[in-house]
Amino acid sequence: MGSGKTTIGQALAKELSFNVIDTDQWIEEQEKQRISELFQTKGEPYFRKQETKALETIAGQRLIITTGGGIVIKEENRQLMKEKGNIIYLKCDIEEILRRLQDDETRPLLQGKDKAKIEQLFLARKAFYEDADIIIDTTGRTVNDIINELKMLIVQ
Ligand SMILES: Nc1ncnc2c1ncn2[C@@H]1O[C@H](COP(=O)(O)OP(=O)(O)OP(=O)(O)O)[C@@H](O)[C@H]1O
Ligand SMILES: O=C(O)C1=C[C@@H](O)[C@@H](O)[C@H](O)C1
Ligand SMILES: [Mg+2]
């Protein structure tokens, strides 16, 4: 969460003239609810199922998909991403993530959590993130700088 997937995906798609779809936004449109509300009304397991549905439905050519930070939790999602695309892990130090998201109330799994709890969440997912095809550290870097690196790595 907060590593910049949505931000970078939007900017990169514009640069490369790719379409971009964000799974969080796709789910919000399908469900006509904000993610934070959806967690309250239908719960996290329901949200995770919708992430699978998003991957099954939207993957295609010349498309950037930006996901939620927890999409890797489900084995099925990891498989789908591997089968259908090239996976880029945008990595970021916890301190910077906390700074970026300090006033943000849209991520239910961060609400009321301290640094140790967020670190725990990250550690439980770390191995899945690191299984990506490309890993880019975004800590202390501008969006432009990250996009320029990604542009060189993406085969068009
Ligand atoms: N390289 C960067 N430097 C500084 N701030 C950034 C950078 N990338 C993103 N941000 C800021 O961090 C916040 C979170 O970014 P963003 O929503 O793109 O993260 P995300 O990875 O999509 O998170 P989530 O997993 O919750 O969807 C935003 O306010 C965004 O403007
Ligand atoms: O890391 C996570 O589990 C999440 C990240 C967000 O993008 C949203 O998908 C949701 O808030 C859950
Ligand atoms: Mg996002």
ipTM summary value: 0.97
Under 8 Å between Cβ of 79 and 126: no
Nearest-angstrom CA–CA distance, 78 and 73 = 8
Cα–Cα distance between 83 and 30 in angstroms, integer? 24
Cβ(35) – ligand 2 distance below 6 Å:
yes
Shortest-distance ligand to the CA of residue 4: 1
pLDDT in tens, 53-90: 999 999 877 899 999 999 999 999 999 999 999 999 99
112: left (phi over 0), alpha (psi -120 to 50) or beta: left
Full set of structural domains in the chain with CATH: 5-143 (3.40.50.300)
Whether the model clears a pTM of 0.90, i.e. scores above it, the answer is yes
